Each structure stands twice: as C-alpha cells, then as structure tokens.
C-alpha cells in the first residue's frame, strides 16, 4: 500500500460517525448490513448516513450491493487488512534491545 492511499483511507475513516459505520460493518461480517439497519443503529438522518457512506465508498473501505429493494453495505476486509498491515509492517524494526542499550 502506498503512503497516499493509507493517508486517504485514514482521513476518510477519521470521523467518529464513519468509524462507527466501519465498526458496525466489521461486526456484521461478510454479509454486511442494510443501510436502514445502519441508520437505525446510529440514529441519524438518512441524508447524513448517505454523506458518510459516500466518503467510505470513495476510499474503498466499503461497497454497496443491491438485493432487490434493499441496499446492503459491506466492509472491504482486504482494504482494512492491507491498511493494518501497512501500519504495522515495520513493527519493532528500530527497537533497541536491552543488550544493545547496556
């Protein structure tokens, strides 16, 4: 993952309502949730939810699928996992061991 991509995703997720949406969808699993259930869970107006979902979709964090008359939101686990991997890929690379510090 490129730095710019990670920064864009973090910027889009970096809103309390959007982070709540991401967490709700992660908890829902691969089946996702209908937009109406997300709205009910968050207790926010539909237009506000649409605004936040638009940001998450533009960052590739979620996708929407229509199932008859219902719009389902699903988390893009690959994107989230790649972001976490990017953030932690150099974990402890510069750590000083106790032996080296003495």
| Domain of residue 37, residue span | 3-101
**Closest to 21 (Cα-Cα) out of 6, 4, 42:** 42
**Domains held by the chain: number:** 1
Question: pLDDT band for position 92 (50/70/90)?
Answer: confident
The pLDDT, as a whole number, for residue 97 is: 66
The answer on pLDDT for 52 being more than 80 is: yes
The pLDDT, as a whole number, for residue 91 is: 86
The pLDDT, as a whole number, for residue 95 is: 79
Average pLDDT over residues 25-48: 96
24 Cβ contact partners less than 8 Å away, ≥ 6 residues apart: 33, 38, 41, 42
Q: Is pTM beyond 0.85 here?
A: yes
From the CB of residue 31, how many other CB atoms can be counted at a distance below 10 Å?
A: 8
Residue whose token pair is 């309390």: 16
Here the CATH number for the domain that contains residue 33 is: 1.10.10.10
């Amino acid at each position: 993952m490129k730095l710019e991509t990670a920064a864009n995703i973090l910027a889009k997720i970096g809103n309390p309502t959007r982070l709540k949406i991401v967490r709700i969808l992660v908890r829902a699993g691969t089946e996702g949730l209908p937009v109406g259930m997300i709205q009910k869970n968050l207790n926010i107006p539909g237009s506000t939810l649409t605004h936040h979902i638009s940001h998450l979709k533009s960052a590739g964090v979620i996708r929407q699928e229509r199932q008859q008359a219902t719009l389902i939101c699903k988390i893009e686990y690959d994107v989230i996992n790649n972001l976490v991997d990017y953030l932690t890929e150099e974990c402890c690379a510069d750590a000083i061991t106790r032996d080296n510090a003495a």
